[in-house]
Amino acid sequence: MDAYSGEQETGMTAHMGTARLGPAERSAALAQMAAQELDVVVVGGGVVGAGVALDAATRGLSVGLVEARDFASGTSSRSSKLIHGGLRYLEQLNFDLVREALQERALLLQRIAPHLVRAVPFLFPLTHLGWERPYVGAGLVLYDSLGFSFGFTRGVPGHRHLSRKRALRLAPALRRSAFTGAIQYWDAQVDDARYVMTMLRTAAAYGAHVASRSQVVGFLREGERVTGVRVRDLEAGEELEVRARQVVNATGVWTDDIQALVGGRGQIHVRASKGVHLVVPRDRIHSYTGVILRTEKSVLFVIPWGRHWIIGTTDTEWSLDKAHPAASRSDIDYVLDHVNSVLSVPLTRDDVEGVYAGLRPLLAGESDETSKLSREHVVAHPVPGLVMIAGGKYTTYRVMARDAVDAVAHGLAQRVPPSCTDRIPLAGAEGYQALWNSRHRLARESGLHVARIEHLLQRYGSLIEEVLTLIADRPDLAGPLSGADDYLRAEIVYAATHEGARHLNDVLTRRTHISIETFHRGVAVAQEAAELLAGPLEWDAEQVKREVEYYTKRVEAERASQEQDTDQEADAIRMGAPEIVPVASD
């Protein structure tokens, strides 16, 4: 048996820790979806759609999920990667939203995904003497106390007040004159793209059929009722009909496009607001803690991210291309100007390794200021057979998914058990703590450095065993990629065999984050990575060349767009680089 094969898992026989999303599983999932009437088909493989698939599958429903591009390639890989209550919602007195989000934070940290969700400290620099410390301090007392839930502890340490001197010890990079003192508090962070993929693997282990590069291009109808979707398998160029008793639309900023496919006036309208983040190397900002800064409209975070910092974000209306929102020079300057206002050694554009932009799916409201629009979600049942879910934020995906599947259950007119996802750990969570405690043994046995094992454990949890087995079978995969040494060659192969990656871009952007974590943005490792993917994805030399060319063009177009002053110019240049698997135009 070669390293790529292995026992075929069907949804029904799969068990936790072994559900894989390789090419064979994708074909099997599409065949299964075409062959039967499902209880539910979910449109969209972002965090909300993946959450709906897991919620429905664990209630015993038969489920399919189709995603037009790569899993999490929309907003769900482009967020600030925080699992948080949102301090600014507290300031807007939206206590219910904050409480709900903090309860989710506790659950994700401690039960659902302790391998993927981690506590992270933030420093809140105070700039006014007198009123500000008691005001922010009171908010943080509330923030900390709202975080207790489900019989769990908060999962993160409480806040503490700091003098300017002590704050400077934690964050020597801050300019002394930029603040008067500080408060440190804790939140949590997640690798957003990997979380979605892991949730889809978990859903598949509970029987869900999931397929990427499968676009919904129309709806099946019987009279007014929606009875399924027409799906184009974008890899094979074929169309299939997926019949389902209920369809759930979880397409984020594409919600209105899907509504247009259904016809009629939709009940939900979603508009997009762009947020841009910069990534800089860790050594450019000397600090042992993240930092949160107030801006005119909202807040700006400086977030520790492995050997890097993520800095963002912006908040501006966006009505151009939704799949590849472009960051302009003005966006980058905005972020740099704000962070530089507190740094003693300012960052320049030369310090920027990576840039990414994402679109918030905001429920269209009265206010013209996108940052004031609601982050809460809505569920609608516009016609029989169709449930729409939109809005919300990453942190509360599980609540959104539960509400959507409750609406599905209503439409199925049968007894469906209540949601149980608060008790369903994601793949890799079970056994994670024990393996973390045994990391020195794992390092000895595998011959890898303990720091490497820690990195792997925080990406795979207990599924690390599968990656280590792959390395044991193929020692040539034990070394790092030359040019992106945070990642092992084995991880590239595993992304294709187990994690649903189908193209080079999927691996360099979402299974790893090489595209934002290196100054070359992945171009220097593209050839090596493509050659590693060629085996499991059955590419010939021509396809390897194509993958590298498409990836390189994408990076060039992004770099050029980031030199443009306006969104329109940046978008026009970004659109010059085609997708390797184009989606069907509406």
Q: How far is the CB of 231 from ligand FAD (least distance, A)?
A: 8
Whichever of 78 and 511 has its CB closer to ligand FAD, that residue is 78
Least distance in Å: CB of 564 to ligand FAD? 19
Q: Which is nearer to ligand FAD, 17 or 44 (CB)?
A: 44
Rounded to the nearest whole angstrom, what is the least distance from the CB of residue 54 to ligand FAD in the complex?
13
Question: What gap in Å lies between CA 155 and CA 109, rounded to an integer?
Answer: 6
In the complex, which residues of this chain contact ligand FAD (CB under 6 A)?
43-49, 66-69, 73-76, 78-82, 84, 215-216, 250-254, 258, 275, 313, 358-361, 392-395
With tokens 């999962």, the residue in question is 155
Least gap, CB of 69 to ligand FAD (angstroms): 4
Q: Based on CB atoms, which residue is closest to ligand FAD, 11 or 361? A: 361
Q: How far is the CB of 196 from ligand FAD (least distance, A)?
A: 7
Beta carbons within 8 Å of 45's beta carbon, 6+ residues apart: 65, 66, 67, 71, 72, 196, 200, 210, 212
Quick one: DSSP state of residue 584? P
Q: Which long-range contacts (CB under 8 A, 24 or more apart) does 436-443 make?
A: 442/468
Q: List 275's β-bridge partners, or say none.
A: 358
Q: Which is nearer to ligand FAD, 321 or 538 (CB)?
A: 321
Nearer to ligand FAD, 41 or 140 (CB): 41
Q: Where are the alpha helices (DSSP H) in 347-438?
A: 397-412, 432-437
Quote the CA–CA distance of 575 and 29 in Å, as a whole number.
32
CA 325 to chain centroid, in Å, comes to 16
* Cα 301 to Cα 111: distance, rounded to the nearest angstrom: 26
> How big is the CA angle at 413 (ends 412 and 415), to the nearest 5 degrees?
95
Q: Considering beta carbons, is residue 44 or 461 the nearer one to ligand FAD?
A: 44
Q: Look up residue 379 and give its amino acid.
A: V
Q: How far is the CB of 292 from ligand FAD (least distance, A)?
A: 12
Angle between helices 47-57 and 192-205 (to 10 degrees): 20
Q: How far is the CB of 66 from ligand FAD (least distance, A)?
A: 5
Least separation in angstroms between CB 3 and ligand FAD: 30
Please, which residue, 164 or 294, has the CB nearer to ligand FAD? Answer: 294
Integer Cα distance of 179 and 167 in angstroms = 10
Smallest separation, CB 86 to ligand FAD (Å): 8
Least separation, in Å, of the C-beta of 38 and ligand FAD?
A: 15
Which residue, 84 or 115, has its beta carbon nearer to ligand FAD?
A: 84
CA distances in angstroms from 339 to 34, 180, 310, 345, 359, listed in the order given: 51, 17, 11, 10, 22
Three-state secondary structure call for residue 143 = helix
User: At its nearest, how many Å lie between ligand FAD and the CB of residue 233?
Assistant: 11
Q: Which is nearer to ligand FAD, 293 or 484 (CB)?
A: 293
Cα-based angle 111, 115, 119 (whole degrees, multiple of 5): 80
**Inter-CA distances, 90 with 11, 100, 291, 299, 398, Å:** 42, 12, 18, 13, 21
Question: What string of H, E and C letters represents the secondary structure of 534-548?
Answer: HHHHCCCHHHHHHHH
Cβ proximity to ligand FAD: between 354 and 361 the closer is 361
Nearer to ligand FAD, 213 or 245 (CB): 213
CA distance 64 to 388: 16
- Residue nearer to ligand FAD on the CB measure, 392 or 461: 392
Q: Which residues contact 235 (CB under 8 A, 6 or more apart)?
A: 213, 502, 581
**Minimum CB–partner distance for residue 296 and ligand FAD (Å):** 17
* Nearest residue (CB) to ligand FAD, 404 versus 557: 404
CA pair distance 405, 48, nearest whole angstrom: 11
Which residue, 126 or 253, is less far from ligand FAD as judged by CB? 253
| Spatial distance between the Cα atoms of 62 and 53, rounded to a whole number of angstroms | 9
Tell me how far apart the alpha carbons of residues 411 and 399 are, in angstroms, rounded to a whole number: 19
Beta strands 290-294 and 299-305, pairing class: antiparallel
Q: How far apart are CA 530 and CA 509, in angstroms?
A: 13
Q: Quick one: which of 444, 440, 497, 438 has its CA closest to 467?
A: 497
CB of 106 to ligand FAD, least distance (A): 14
Instruction: Give the three-class secondary structure for 108.
Output: helix
**Whole-number minimum distance, CB 413 to ligand FAD, in Å?**
26
